[in-house]
Chains A and B, each alone.
Chain A
Amino acid sequence: MRSETFPLGFRLMDRNDAELAEEQSIVRQCIGGRQEAYAVLVRRYQEMVYNVAYRMVGDTEAAKDIAQESFISAYSGLRGFRSDARFSTWLYRIVMNKCQDHLRKERPHVPVEEMAESVASTRNNPEQELRRSQTIARLQSALDLLPAGYREVIILKHMEGLSYEEMEKVLGVKAGALKVKTHRAREMLKKVMKEEGILDG
């Protein structure tokens, strides 16, 4: 087996110090009443927040609302933002909470045991040839079949490239427990994707 078949690449998510200092300065300005400074942070993180929301709830309209509300909540709570923390970490926490609220309201939690059944019931269209251009939707359909808690760790770990330590700060769960959860989430996603034929070819 060739080593390049292993996905060991890491995304370097560390923002440089200058950017961190700039963000702290922007936060201070917002607290001081210069509301317009906040636009810089919204512009910088809009794609991140929107995509996390979209992958969590699987609906672009709901994702937009959640993303906007996340930025508004973050703004309202700026005074409580610890200056030694990363703004992005804080945003992740806010958007994840909003997604969980949304999912609690919108649909019942599907227990893990029922997953296999729901997967099986979606396999009634074997002829359907899913094209490459539908990758986003196909991945989403697989993610949608995971319990929200599994989807959450998959998104933070593999889409956002966070370390387990960063995920601990976002989710308020110990890194060790998150590791185990991520392993299980990956196993389930693998199973779902395999059964859905997403991993073929």
Chain B
Amino acid sequence: MDKDKDRELMHRLLDGELSAEEQRDALRRIGSDPALKEEFELLARTVRSVEEAERVPVEGSFVSEVMARLPGQRPGTARRLRDFLFRDRVLRWNVAWAAVALALVLLVTGGLFLTANRLTPVVATNSAGNTVLTRFTFHDPDAEAVSLAGDFNRWSVKEGAMKRKEGGLWTIEIPLKPGTYNYMFVVDGKVWVTDPEAGVYRDDGFGNRNSIIRVSTL
């Protein structure tokens, strides 16, 4: 057998393309020639070193960075209006912007809503019977169940079961009277999570922070 043929045989063996009989013959052929055997072992080790190569870990912020860079949609007017009214509002704050916003709030309300810089996704559809339908959202695609617990349901883990939507977004809408409420999300019935998108937090006295929401009739 010539060298090229031997070489092709070795590669086909590596690719698992030989029948059981061909494989046996190939192994016998390679094993009978020390030079060929050494060459095949080197080749096999080369392939194995690639196959067993460790994966380089991805930064935790990768998904959110991609999502933030996606091109915007161009929905129709009705859709845009609806999105404007009902979209989940996520604002990112730094100290400078917080100061500007606070100044604006003070200016407009005369300090009436000093702690009213709510950031939690809230939708006030209308006040009916003096309550405001308020939407809470939480993103966790890996959760089996998420519930909303707060002052308004006596911190019950069971009452505020949230519904899962596509993409691991959990939502719930509950009627709340105007006022200020403490709340947290409970993941899988046991892990208490502070709303990362809440604008105001308050220590709960147990080493955690509650998220604060202020509901007002607009």
Contact = CB atoms under 8 A, between A and B. Distances in A.
A43 B62 CA distance: 8
Contacts of A1: 27, 30-31, 37
Contacts of B75: 33
Interface string B68-89: 0111010100010000000000
Contacts of A169: none
20 contacts: A7-B14, A7-B44, A7-B47, A36-B167, A40-B167, A40-B168, A42-B66, A43-B63, A47-B55, A47-B58, A68-B69, A71-B66, A72-B71, A75-B70, A139-B53, A154-B50, A159-B53, A164-B15, A182-B15, A190-B46
B141 interface: yes
A42 B49 contact: no
A10 B14 CA distance: 10
A68 B63 CA distance: 9
B63 A39 contact: yes
Interface in B126-158: 141
Contacts of A93: none
Contacts of B67: 35-36, 38-39, 42
B69 A189 contact: no
A72 B56 contact: no
A179 B12 CA distance: 9
B contact face: mostly helix, strand, loop, or mixed: helix
B168 A76 contact: no
A142 B55 CA distance: 16
A75 to B, nearest CB: 5
A68 B62 contact: yes
A183 B7 contact: yes
Interface in A138-192: 139, 154, 158-159, 161, 164, 179, 182-183, 186-187, 189-190
B202 interface: no
Given A1-B27, A34-B167, A158-B47, A10 B16 contact: yes
Among B43, B44, B58, B66, residue most surrounded by chain A Cβ atoms (within 10 Å): B66
A132 to B, nearest CB: 11
Q: Which 4 A-B pairs have the closest CB atoms?
A: A158-B50, A183-B11, A190-B46, A36-B167
B66 A64 contact: no
B129 to A, nearest CB: 32
B14 A186 contact: yes
Contacts of A164: 15
A186 B39 CA distance: 12
Contacts of B62: 42, 46, 50, 64, 67-68
Contacts of B14: 6-8, 186
Contacts of B49: 135, 139, 193, 198-199
Contacts of A118: none
A92 interface: no
Interface in A2-50: 3, 5-11, 26, 29, 33-40, 42-43, 46-47, 50
